[in-house]
Structure 1
Amino acid sequence: MALPSTRPRPLLKSVGSALSQAPVSLALLGVIWSLAVITGSVTKGPSPELASRISAGVPSLGDGRVWTLWTSGLFASGLTEYLLAGLSVLVIAAPVEYRIGSRRFAIAAFVSQGAGTALAVAVALLVSQVSGSWGSELHTHLTQDPLPWILGALLAATAAMNTLWRRRIRTLVLVILVTTVLFAGHLQDLTRLSAAVAGLLIGPVLFGRAVRSPVLGGTIRERRTLVALVVAAGVLGPILAAFSPHAIGPLSALRELFDQVPYSPRELLDVCADPALYDECRKGQQALRLSGIGPVVMNLMPSLLLLVAAEGLRRGRRAAWLLSIYGHLALVAVTAASVLVRITEQDEARSILYGIHRHGSIYGEWIPLLPLLAVLALLLVTRRLFDVRARRGTYRRVWAGTIAATVAALVIYLVVGTVLSDGFDRDPGIGTLLRDAPRRLLPPVYLQLFEPPVMPLTAGATLLYEWIGVVVWATFCLLVLRSFLAPPAGQDLGGAHKVRELLHSPGGDSMSWMSTWPGNSYWFTADGRHAVAYRVHSGVALTTGGPIGDHASLGTAVDEFAAYCLGNGWTPCFYSVGKDIASIAHEHGWGHLQVAEETVVDLPDLAFKGKKFQDVRTALNRAQKQGIEAQWTTFTEAPLSVKEQIVDISEEWVADKGLPEMGFTLGGLAELSDPEVRLLPAIGPDGHVHAVTSWMPVYRDGALVGLTLDFMRRRSDGFPVAIEFLIASAALLAQQEGIGFLSLSGAPLANADGGESGVDRGALDALLDLLGRTLEPVYGFRSLLAFKAKFQPRYRPLYMVFPDATALPSIGIAIGHAYLPNLSFEQSGRLLSRLLRR
C-alpha cells in the first residue's frame, strides 16, 4: 500500500518565493554583512574601539550610548557568529516574517531587541550588587549579537500559532535559553533570554490576543516529552558547563573541575610529609582527586543517571519518575549541606556537583538550589503522567545485576590493589583498602570533607582507583535504561498474540480489535476458544467489548468469565457490547444500559447518489478539484514527513481542546503503530496532510469483512470537509476490495432515537441521557453521531452489562478511570468550569 504521488514545487522555487516575501529579514541580513565587511569585523568581530561604541553593556549605557541597544544587534563577535546569524535569519527570521507579515515582524524585532537588551543590562547591573563573581563579570561585559531580535520575533510570532506549536516552540526555546544563562552565564546569553521574554510579552499586543499560558498540555505523550525535556536540560546544563572553561553562570561550578592541579602525585607526597604544610596538603589532595578524566567522568555519572531517567519519563515510566524525584532530592540535600559548610567554615574548597562559586555571596551560594527545586516541583505536579509500571521482577533483576557488579568491582579493587600496593602513597594493606573500597563507588566531588586513606601514584594504581566506580555506575545506568525499553506491565505479549489469532479466525465483531490495545489483560476459556480483554479498576473487571471467539458458545464464555471475576473478588462488567451479549446477560438476570450508538455503512450496494448524499458528493468533488488524494497505507509504511504531520495534527487537536484526552474505547496515536491498522490520510499536491483517519480490521473465518473507524483528526487550517472526503474515500476503496461494511464506530453517551424502541427507560437510562447532554458541549459525542448520519448508516446500540445495580457506583468510577486515566487536578477544574459555563 503506497501513498498517492505528490507534485511538490521545485525546492529552489519554493525557497525563493518565501524569501521574496521577507524583505525586512533580507534587508537586515544585508546590513549585518555590509557592516561586517566595511568595518573589517568578519573574522574577529569589531575592534575594541568600535566595540565600545556599538556594543551593549553596563559601561555603554552608563556612558549614555543608548543606541547600542539596537546597534549591538547588527554585529557579531567573529566569523562563526556571523555565519550563525546569517543561517538564523534564513531559517528563522524569514519564515517568521512570511507568516506574520513584514510590518509586525519589524515591530517585534525592533521592540524585542531594544527592550530585551535593556532588560539584560538592568539584570546585569542588579546582579553585580548581590553576587560576587558572576555579577562582577557581567558588569564589565559588552555584547554584540543578532540573535536577540531573531529570537524575540520568533517568540512574538508564537501568539499567532496554534496551541501545539506555540507550546513546543516556547518550551524548547525558553528551556535552552534559561539553561544557557544559568550555566554559561554571559551577557550575550542573558540578552537572548531577555529578548525572547520581551517577544513573548509583545506578541499578544501585536495580534490583539490575550496572553495564553504556556503551561504543559496536549496529549499524555506530548506532556511527558515536555517534562522529560525540562529534566534533561537541567541535567545537560552542568555537563556542558563542565566542558566549558569560560562559563561564568551561577551554576557553572563544574568548570572548576578542570582547574590546573598545583602538584603532581609525587610532589604532593613530599608536601604532605611536612606537618607544617597540612592545609596545603589537604587542598592538594582535593585538587588531585578531582582532576583527570576518571574523576570527571565519575562526577558526571549521577547526571548521566538522571539523563537516563529523562528517557524513562518520556516513556511514562513510574520508576523513572521515582528515580528523578529521589535523585533531585539527593542533589538538593547535598547542595544544601555543602552551602552550610561553605558558609560556616568560609572554606575555599571546591564545590559539589551543582556547586558554588568561590568568593561568592551568601545569596549566590543558595542559587544552585533554585533550579533543582523548580524541577522537583514540576515532577511532583505532573506525577499522574507517569503511571507505566514495569513487569513483576524487572527491578529485582536491575538491583541484582547492580549488586553483582558492585561486589565484583570491590573484589577486583581489593585483589588488584594488594598486588599494586607499591603504586600507592603508602602501603595500603587489606584493612586500608577495605576502608577505602566503598568510597570508590561515590563521585569524588562528594568526598571533599573526608581525608583519603590512600592515594595512587602510578598509572596502574590510578586506573584502578579512578575507574572501578565508573564501571559500577555505568552498569546501573545500562540496566535501568534496559528496564525502560522493555515492555511494561499489562502488555501480555503471549496473550495478545493468541487474541489476534482468535480475531482472525473465527473473528470478532466490529469493535473487537480494540482488545489488542495496550492496557488490557486477557482471560481465556479452558479450551482456548474464547478470550476476553479486560482491565481492573476499583474492583471492577471492565471488558473491552464482548468475548472473542465462536459465536455459538458465547453464553458459556460469559458464564466462565463471570465466575473467574467473582473468584477474584471483582465485579464483572461487559462494556460496549452488542444486543447478543445483552440478551444473554438478560437471561441471567443481569442489568444492561445503552452507553453508545454504533453507525454501520453497508458497502455492497452503496452509491453516493441522490439528495441525501449531497454533502458527501460535494466533499469528493472539492477534493478532486484541489488535487487532494487518499490511498491506504499504514503508520509504519508512511514516509517520515507524513508521520510527523499526523503527530502534529493529533497534538494540535488535543491541545486546542485544553481538556484531557480520552482513552479506553477511543484510540490515539499509540494505537496507530499496529501494522494491521490501515491509515487513510488526505494529502494535497504539495505533500500537505490535511486530515487522517485510521481503520481497524474486522475478520470472519480468516477473511477481511469490514473496517472500523478509530482515529479521526483534521488540521485546523486544512481542507474544511476533509473528514467527509476520507470516510467517503474509505467506503469507495473498501467497496472495490469486496469488503462488506464500514463501521464508523460508536458515539459514547449518544443514541439516534433517544433510546431503544420498546424498552422502558428507567432512572439510570435517564441519568446517562443527562450526562450525555451535559458533556456534549465539551466532547461533542452527539454532534459526532449527527455528523455520521450524512453517510446514511444503520444504527447498532451498544450496551453496558452488569450483574447487580448496586455495583453501579464502583462501575462508574472504573469507567471514568478507564476513559480518563491521567486526569490532573488542573484538567478536572477546567472540565468542571466548562460544564458549569455551558
Structure 2
Amino acid sequence: MTDAVPRSRHPFLSALARIPATLALIAALLAIGVIWGGLWSPFAENPLFESVAYGLPALAEGRWWTPVTGTFFVDHPIVYPFVIASFAGLAFLEHRRGSVVALAYFGIGQLFAIFASALFLWLAAMLPWPWAQVEATMLDVGPSGGTMAGIAAAVGLLASPWRVRAWLIVLGFSFVTLFFWGSLADLEHAFAVLLVLFADRSLRVQRTTVREQRLIAFVVVLVILAVELLTLLVPTDGPFGHTDAADGSFLDVAIDVIVIAGLATGLRRGRRWAWIWTIVLATINVLTGVLLVTLAQIIGPSSLSAQVGDYNVALAQSAMWLLLLIYLVWVRRAFQARRKSTVGVSPAPSIDDVKAALRAYGGGTLSWMTTWDGNDYARTEAGGIIAYQRRAGVAIALADPLGPEASRARSVAEFIASAEHAGLIPCFFSSSQATRDAVPAGWRSIVVADDTIVDLAGLEFTGKRWNAVRTSMNRAGREEMSFRMTRLADEPWGIRQQLRAISEMWVGDKGLPEMGFTLGTLDQAEDPEVRMALAVSPSGDVDGFLSWLPVYAGDGKVRGWTLDLMRRRDGGFGPVMEFLIGSSARHFSDEGAEILSLSGAPLAHEYPPDAGAIAALSDWLAGMLEPVYGFQSLHRFKEKFHPRYETMYLLFRDESDLTRIGAGLTRAFLPDATLRQFAGAGLELVRGSGD
C-alpha cells in the first residue's frame, strides 16, 4: 500500500489560512449586521443605536461597554463595503506578523481612538469652538479606528521608499478629511494613525533621500491643490468652519490649478525656480492667514465674515501652506537643480580621457561603446568616469564605471547623488554583477540581456557540436570565399561603398533607423581601434562584414573583442555570418586574445522557470519586436558558438521610475526615429504577430 500524496493547497486558500483573526472580525461584523438588520437598513435609526454607540455622551453617562459593542456595528448599509475593504491593512499585518500582533494593533488602536477623541472633545468643548461643541454631542459606531491603526502599521512594514510614500497618503487622507469635513469618525482616524506613527516610528523623514524630499514637497503641493478643488465642489464643515459648494471663483481656481500643477512638477524635478516661486506663493498665503486672524481680532469674526465672506477654510489652507513653507526651508538643499545642471565634478572628461581610462584600467565587453558620440561623461572624486545619456529626464549610465576597480562603489554613489541633484532619474543599463553589488541597498534590477562570451584559449572547431560552424567554413573554402581582418580606414573607396550599400539596404528593410546607444553604425566603425572582418567573394564583392570593438584588460593590453555590426549582402554567400565569426575567432586566438564577446541581444535572456512577471513581460516584448529587429533569432544564432553567459542588468531605484526609464531608453536606442517611423514599425509588429 502506497502513501497518499498530499494535495497542495490553492495559494488563495493558503493566504486566507494565515489571516484567521481578520476573517473572524469581518465575520462578526457581518453576523451582527444580519442579526440586527444593519446590512439592509440604517442602524443609526435603530432604537438600539444609543445603547451600543460610543462617544463622549456615552462615556459621560456611564455606558462603559460601548467602546466594545459599538465596534461591531456599522451605521449605514452603504458603508459596509468600505469598512470591509479597510480590513486589508490588518490582513497584511496579520499575514506578516501574526494574529496576536494584528489583534493588538486593532484593539489598542480602536480603544485609543475612541477615548482620545472623547478626551479631546471634552476639553475643546469648553472653548468657544462651535465644531467641538457639536461633535462632543455625537455618537459613532464601527471599527474604523482599529482598521486605520492596522493600515498605518501595515504601511510601516513596506520597503523603502514605498513606506514614506504610503505614510504621506495615510497622513494626507486622515488630516485633510479631519480639517475640512471633521466628523467624529475623522477625528478617531487621525488619533489612530498618530498612535501608530509615534509608537512604531517607521516614518523617518530626516533620513529620506533627496529624491524623497522632493517627492514629499510634490505630494503636499498636490494635496493643497486637491483641497482647493474639493472645497470648491463639495461643501465642508470641519474644525475651521463651513463652506458651501461653488463658494468661490472658478476662474481663480483654474488659474491656481495651472500654476500649482506647474510648481509641483518643478518641485518633483528639484528645480530651483520652482522652489523659489513656491516659497513666494506659500509666504503670500501665510501672510493672508495672518492678516485674516489680525482683522478678526480687531473688528470681530462676525464683522469680518460680513465683509470678506467665510474665511475659516482660508485659514485652514494658510495653515497647510505654513507647514509646506517650513518644510521647503528645511530641505532647501534638495532643490538646486537647474535645466542645464552638470553631473559629476569638473572638469568634464573628454573622449580622450575615457580612452585613456580604458587603456589604463580596462573595462567590460561593452566599455568601448562609452567612446561613441551621444554620450556625456561624469567625473567622480573617486577617480572614476561614468558615461551616460540624458533622455526624458533620465541619466542612463552605460555599462560599468570606468577607472580603478576599488573606486567603483564610490563612483556609483557619487553619480547617483549628482544625477538626483541635477533633477534626473539615475539608472545603469547593461551593467555587470559588480555594479549591481555597488548600488545602494534597496535598488531594483532587471535582466536586460545575456552577454555571450566565447573563450578563445584552446578553441578548436572539432566535434559534433561544432558541425554548423565547421560546415560553413569548409563551404567557404570550396566557394573560394576569402576572409580579411582589417580597419575601415585602410580599405579602398570601392570596398567602403559596398559596406555602406549593404548597411543602408539592411536599415531600409527595418522601417526604423539604425539603433544607437549599445548598437553601433559604420560611423563608429571609422574608429582606428575598431577592427573589421570582411567576407569577399572571388569576384571581389563583399558578401558580409562584422565590426569588432576592443576589450582592454589594463596596462594598454587588449584581452578580447566585442561584436558590434553584423551585415550581409542579399543573395550572397549563405552561411556568411558563421564563416566570419569562426574566422574572426581563429584570427584573434592566434593574436593571443582571451575572449570573444558576441554581445548581448536585448530582451533575449533565458529566464528560470520561477522568474515571474519580469520574465513574462520581457518575453512578450521580445515576441512583439522580433519581426522588426530579430533579437531572439540573433540570440539563437549565437548559440551555435556555444558561449558562456554573463548577465547584464538594468539597475534602478524602484518601480515608479520604470515608465520614465522606458521612455529614456526608447530615445537612447532610437534618437532619430520619427512618429511616422514608430507608426510604421507598429504596423510591422502587427503583421509579424499575425504570421
Q: What TM-score do you get using the length of structure 2 for normalisation?
A: 0.53
Instruction: Please list, as runs of the form range in 1=range in 2, the aligned pairs for 1:123-138 lying within 5 A after superposition.
Output: 123-138=120-135
Match of 1:249 in 2: 238
* Structure 1: gaps spanning 5 or more residues: 1-8, 205-210, 260-289, 358-364, 392-488, 518-523, 549-574, 579-593, 600-652, 683-688, 709-717, 720-731, 746-838
Cα drift, residue 18 of structure 1:
1.2
Match of 2:116 in 1: 119
Cα drift, residue 303 of structure 1:
5.0
Cα drift, residue 13 of structure 1:
3.3
Match of 2:218 in 1: 228
Cα drift, residue 184 of structure 1:
1.4
Distance between the aligned counterparts of 2:334 and 2:420, measured in 1? Answer: 19
Among residues 69, 72, 92, which one is paired with 1:71 in the alignment? 69
Match of 1:149 in 2: 146
Match of 1:53 in 2: 51
Cα drift, residue 30 of structure 1:
1.2
Any idea what the Cα deviations from partners look like across 1:513-553, whole Å, max 9, x if unmatched? 89999xxxxxx9xxxx989845699xx9x9946999xxxxx
**Aligned 8 A contact 1:510 1:698 in 2:** no
Instruction: Please list, as runs of the form range in 1=range in 2, the aligned pairs for 1:369-380 lying within 5 A after superposition.
Output: 369-380=318-329
Q: Does 1:239 align with 2:229?
A: yes
Instruction: Please list, as runs of the form range in 1=range in 2, the aligned pairs for 1:77-226 lying within 5 A after superposition.
Output: 77-89=75-87, 91-202=88-199, 204=200, 211-215=201-205, 217-226=207-216
Q: Which amino acid aligns with 1:386?
A: F
What SS does structure 1 have at the residue aligned with 2:86?
helix
Any idea what the Cα deviations from partners look like across 1:205-229, whole Å, max 9, x if unmatched? xxxxxx4553154443333223311
What is the RMSD of the two structures over their aligned residues, measured on CA atoms? 5.4
Any idea what the Cα deviations from partners look like across 1:224-276, whole Å, max 9, x if unmatched? 2233112222332232233332x2223465x24646xxxxxxxxxxxxxxxxx
Distance 1:74 1:744, change over 3 A: closer
* Structure 2: gaps spanning 5 or more residues: 1-6, 390-399, 437-442, 450-516, 521-529, 532-546, 550-561, 563-596, 601-609, 612-634, 650-691
Among residues 291, 305, 320, which one is paired with 2:274 in the alignment? 320
Distance 1:331 1:62, change over 3 A: same
Distance between the aligned counterparts of 1:94 and 1:371, measured in 2? Answer: 33
Distance between the aligned counterparts of 1:135 and 1:33, measured in 2? Answer: 32
Q: Does 1:383 align with 2:332?
A: yes
Q: Which amino acid aligns with 1:233?
A: V
Q: Which amino acid aligns with 1:168?
A: R
Cα drift, residue 22 of structure 1:
1.1
Distance between the aligned counterparts of 1:157 and 1:390, measured in 2? Answer: 39
Distance 1:514 1:185, change over 3 A: farther
Any idea what the Cα deviations from partners look like across 1:539-589, whole Å, max 9, x if unmatched? x9x9946999xxxxxxxxxxxxxxxxxxxxxxxxxx9866xxxxxxxxxxx
Distance 1:99 1:54, change over 3 A: same
Distance 1:356 1:546, change over 3 A: closer
Q: Does 1:510 align with 2:510?
A: no
What SS does structure 1 have at the residue aligned with 2:27?
helix
**Aligned 8 A contact 2:288 2:318 in 1:** no
Match of 1:412 in 2: none
**Aligned 8 A contact 1:679 1:693 in 2:** no
Any idea what the Cα deviations from partners look like across 1:466-513, whole Å, max 9, x if unmatched? xxxxxxxxxxxxxxxxxxxxxxx669xxxx9x99xx99xx99973898
Cα drift, residue 307 of structure 1:
3.5
Distance between the aligned counterparts of 2:272 and 2:643, measured in 1? Answer: 43
Q: Which amino acid aligns with 1:112?
A: G
Q: Which amino acid aligns with 1:94?
A: A
Cα drift, residue 194 of structure 1:
0.8
What SS does structure 2 have at the residue aligned with 1:140?
coil
Distance between the aligned counterparts of 1:14 and 1:108, measured in 2? Answer: 26
**Aligned 8 A contact 1:313 1:320 in 2:** yes
Match of 1:356 in 2: 312
Distance between the aligned counterparts of 2:86 and 2:48, measured in 1? Answer: 24
**Aligned 8 A contact 1:515 1:544 in 2:** no
**Aligned 8 A contact 1:515 1:533 in 2:** no
What SS does structure 2 have at the residue aligned with 1:230?
helix
Distance between the aligned counterparts of 2:251 and 2:419, measured in 1? Answer: 45
Match of 1:305 in 2: 259
Cα drift, residue 189 of structure 1:
0.6
Cα drift, residue 670 of structure 1:
3.2
Distance 1:165 1:664, change over 3 A: closer
Q: Which amino acid aligns with 2:70?
A: S
Distance between the aligned counterparts of 2:364 and 2:435, measured in 1? Answer: 22
Distance 1:16 1:353, change over 3 A: farther
Distance 1:547 1:142, change over 3 A: closer
Distance 1:121 1:161, change over 3 A: same
Any idea what the Cα deviations from partners look like across 1:573-615, whole Å, max 9, x if unmatched? xx9866xxxxxxxxxxxxxxx684679xxxxxxxxxxxxxxxx
Cα drift, residue 190 of structure 1:
0.8
Distance 1:157 1:59, change over 3 A: same
**Aligned 8 A contact 1:576 1:596 in 2:** no
Distance 1:577 1:244, change over 3 A: closer
Q: Which amino acid aligns with 1:86?
A: I
Distance between the aligned counterparts of 1:232 and 1:103, measured in 2? Answer: 38
Cα drift, residue 27 of structure 1:
1.2
Any idea what the Cα deviations from partners look like across 1:147-191, whole Å, max 9, x if unmatched? 221121232345555444443332321122112111111111110
Distance between the aligned counterparts of 1:388 and 1:666, measured in 2? Answer: 6
Distance between the aligned counterparts of 2:21 and 2:422, measured in 1? Answer: 45
What SS does structure 2 have at the residue aligned with 1:248?
strand
Distance between the aligned counterparts of 1:743 and 1:97, measured in 2? Answer: 38
Q: Which amino acid aligns with 2:137?
A: T
Cα drift, residue 669 of structure 1:
9.7
Distance between the aligned counterparts of 2:66 and 2:369, measured in 1? Answer: 63
**Aligned 8 A contact 1:598 1:744 in 2:** no
Among residues 425, 445, 448, which one is paired with 1:670 in the alignment? 425
Distance 1:328 1:101, change over 3 A: same
Cα drift, residue 67 of structure 1:
2.3
Cα drift, residue 141 of structure 1:
2.2
Q: Which amino acid aligns with 1:39?
A: W
Distance 1:26 1:531, change over 3 A: closer
Any idea what the Cα deviations from partners look like across 1:264-310, whole Å, max 9, x if unmatched? xxxxxxxxxxxxxxxxxxxxxxxxxx4xxxx2342463255223322
Any idea what the Cα deviations from partners look like across 1:770-803, whole Å, max 9, x if unmatched? xxxxxxxxxxxxxxxxxxxxxxxxxxxxxxxxxx
Instruction: Please list, as runs of the form range in 1=range in 2, the aligned pairs for 1:540-551 lying within 5 A after superposition.
Output: 544=385
Cα drift, residue 88 of structure 1:
2.3
Distance between the aligned counterparts of 1:343 and 1:133, measured in 2? Answer: 18
Distance 1:162 1:224, change over 3 A: same
Distance between the aligned counterparts of 2:257 and 2:342, measured in 1? Answer: 31
**Aligned 8 A contact 1:515 1:545 in 2:** no
**Aligned 8 A contact 1:216 1:226 in 2:** no
Cα drift, residue 23 of structure 1:
1.3
Distance 1:369 1:305, change over 3 A: same
Instruction: Please list, as runs of the form range in 1=range in 2, the aligned pairs for 1:416-427 lying within 5 A after superposition.
Output: none
Number of paired residues? Answer: 441
Distance between the aligned counterparts of 2:435 and 2:376, measured in 1? Answer: 30
Distance between the aligned counterparts of 1:72 and 1:145, measured in 2? Answer: 6
- The sequence identity of aligned pairs, in percent, is 20
Distance between the aligned counterparts of 1:351 and 1:35, measured in 2? Answer: 52
Distance between the aligned counterparts of 1:333 and 1:671, measured in 2? Answer: 39
